[in-house]
Amino acid sequence: MIRNGIKLIAFDLDGVLVDGGGSWNATHEGLGTLKQSQKNGKDFYSGKISFEEWAHKDVELWKGTDIEEIKKILYRTELMKGIDETLPELKKRYKIAIISGGLKLLADRVKENYGLDYSFGNELLLRNGKVSGIDHIVDFESKGKILEKIAAENGYGAKQCAAVGDYLNDIPMFKVAGLSIAYNPKDPKVAECADEVIRVKDLTKLLEFL
- One DSSP character per residue, the chain reads -PPTT--EEEE--BTTTB-SS-HHHHHHHHHT-HHHHHHHHHHHHTTSS-HHHHHHHHHHTTTT-BHHHHHHHHTTPPBPTTHHHHHHHHHTTSEEEEEEEEEHHHHHHHHHHHT-SEEEEEEEEEETTEEEEEE----SS-HHHHHHHHHHHTT--GGGEEEEE-SGGGHHHHHHSSEEEEES-SSHHHHHT-SEEE-SS-GGGGGGT-
Active site residue 195: no
Active site residue 117: no
Give the Cα separation of 151 and 9 in Å (integer).
10
Give the active site residues.
12, 14
